[in-house]
Structures are given as structure tokens and as C-alpha cells.
A = this chain, B = another copy of it.
């Protein structure tokens, strides 16, 4: 087997583990990982737009819209059309949404996080930088299409309307 295939396989295992955990989480807490992550983003950046969320967590707007549909249907989130710019949609948590996000488990295997945090500092750094290196080796062609916004890098957009 080619080395790059081995890399692919383990990558696939990781994404699968994440997906399986999302399903498990969904059964226990009623929320999938993407739903939880979106909720957290809204919580941290009250009033932010759909596009902000999409960029900060590396999803397309279309995907975020469909996740928001479900979150809104369950009354965790409110969409509020801006008055000054009617294209924009401000996102807010309901009281229920705030409770849910507060009580929600962490968005990845607790096991993984625990283990990760038990590693030496330099080992953690090494894992992260290797992962980032692989990422950069893969998407360099599309870098311009995907602005390098990171989770948590959004400005607070409280009441921009």
C-alpha cells in the first residue's frame, strides 16, 4: 500500500469516528455535532450572520442554512432579518437554546480530548502542526476560495441592525 493511501485510510477513520460520535451525541443530547457547533458559534457571536458561521467553521452557506432550519424548528435559534440591510439575517439563541448549549457535552469524543490534553505540550503542538501541514498541502489551490477564518476569530456582532 502506498504511504499516501495509509494516510487516507487513517484520515477516513478519524472522520468516521467523528461522524459516529455525532450520531451518538444526537441520541443522547438530541443534537448532532454540527448543530452543537453552530449553536456555540451563535452563542459566542450574538447577532452574527449566516455567512460568518459558514466561514468560521468551514461549511457552505447552504449547509448552514439547512442546519439552522432544524435548530429554528426546535426553537433553539431565532433568525432576525436586519432592518438596515434586509439581505442580512442576524442569528440569536432563544432561552431554550442557551440552556441547551450550556448543558451540552463537548463537541468531540471526551476520550480524545482527555487523552490529547494529557500529552506533553510539545506533543500537542506537534499533532496540531502536522494536521495543519496536511491541510495546507491539500487546499492550497483553493486558498483564495476559502478565507482562513478560524473558529473564534469572528468579531462580536451584537446588534448590528
Chain A residues within CB distance 8 Å of chain B = 1, 3-18, 20, 57-59, 107-109, 111-113, 115-117, 124-128, 130-135, 137-142, 146, 150-152
A17 shortest CB reach to chain B, Å: 4
Residues of chain B contacted by A142 (CB below 8 angstroms): 17, 20
Give A108 to B9 CA distance when docked, in angstroms: 12
Q: How many copies, total?
A: 2
Residues of chain B contacted by A17 (CB below 8 angstroms): 135, 138-139, 142
Nearest-neighbor residue (CB-CB) of A139 within chain B: B17
Give A16 to B147 CA distance when docked, in angstroms: 13
Residue in B3, B58, B150 whose CB lies within 8 Å of A128: B3
17 A-B contact pairs sorted by A residue (CB < 8 Å): A3-B116, A3-B124, A3-B125, A4-B116, A5-B152, A7-B127, A10-B131, A11-B14, A11-B18, A13-B139, A16-B59, A17-B138, A111-B140, A112-B137, A126-B130, A130-B130, A130-B131
